[in-house]
Amino acid sequence: MLTPELKIIKKIKSHSYSIKNVSIFPSGNLVSVSSDQFIIIYNDQFDIIQKIEHAHDSIIWDVQIKDEDNFATCSNDNSIKFWKKDKNENKFILKEIIENAHNIVYKILYTKKGNLISSSTDGIIKIWQKVNDKHQCITKLYHQGIVKSLLLCEDKNILISSGSKKTRFWDIRNYECLQIIVGSGADYGNSMKRINDDIIVLAGSLCFDYSLISLKEYY
């Protein structure tokens, strides 16, 4: 059997500095964020349909989509920003800013209920809930050290935070810390991905290996 040759089908010249993250809308449209402080939105053919210049005052670390008309971004400028599509102009505009949300906001993610979770260099994880059209912090979790990665497994009622050479497992029903794993690839530049229902993979930029962690005990 011949192995097919993989080819690059398209190269997109968009950002002027390193791209930090991308996320995909339900429609297939794409949004990317970068060190150049721009947000760029592409259609499902990867053509640029909107460019938001100077969206933040520093590096934009993450972008997370809530639904087809809403997404959030976070930055080195300590803020979280919420963007909403203006149906009249068919483009995204800034709707809300949480200033000084953290000391550098590295990671954000949405829950199924629409709450936002954020993490930072300050070692604190915050849960944000929208109250009267403004997001308010309703819970703080203390990781104790830089948190570079978050993973939410709502089917197992678990939030996982990783960084500063430790990984913490939180029960999202009461936000208690259930377990701490020291080491296991949890350095200052780590990444977590869920492979299947029961296994996550954890890797770090300063490590030469990665760890597989079982979630079987969490139901």
Per-residue confidence (pLDDT) for residue 122, from 0 to 100: 94
pLDDT at 189: 61
Cα 87 to Cα 26: distance, rounded to the nearest angstrom = 17
Phi-psi region of 20 (alpha: psi -120 to 50; beta: other; left: phi over 0): alpha
| Whole-angstrom distance, CA of residue 204 vs CA of residue 186 | 6
List, for residues 88-139, the tens digit of each pLDDT value: 999 999 999 999 999 999 999 999 999 999 999 999 999 999 999 899 999 9
Give tens-digit pLDDT for 45-65. 889 999 999 999 999 999 999
pLDDT tens readout for residues 152-161: 999 999 999 9
The verdict on pTM exceeding 0.95 is no
Give Cβ neighbours of residue 87 (< 8 Å, ≥ 6 apart).
69
What tokens does 189 get? 């530049």
The predicted pLDDT at position 12 comes to 82
Amino acid type, 88: N
pLDDT at 190 > cutoff 90: no
Mean pLDDT, the chain, as a whole number? 91
pLDDT score of 75: 97
pLDDT in the model for residue 209: 66
What does DSSP assign to residue 121? T
Distance CA 65, CA 48 (A): 17
Q: Give the strand pairing for 91-98 and 199-203.
A: unpaired
162-189: per-residue pLDDT in tens? 988 889 999 999 999 999 988 766 665 6
Q: Which residues pair with 149 in a beta bridge?
A: 162
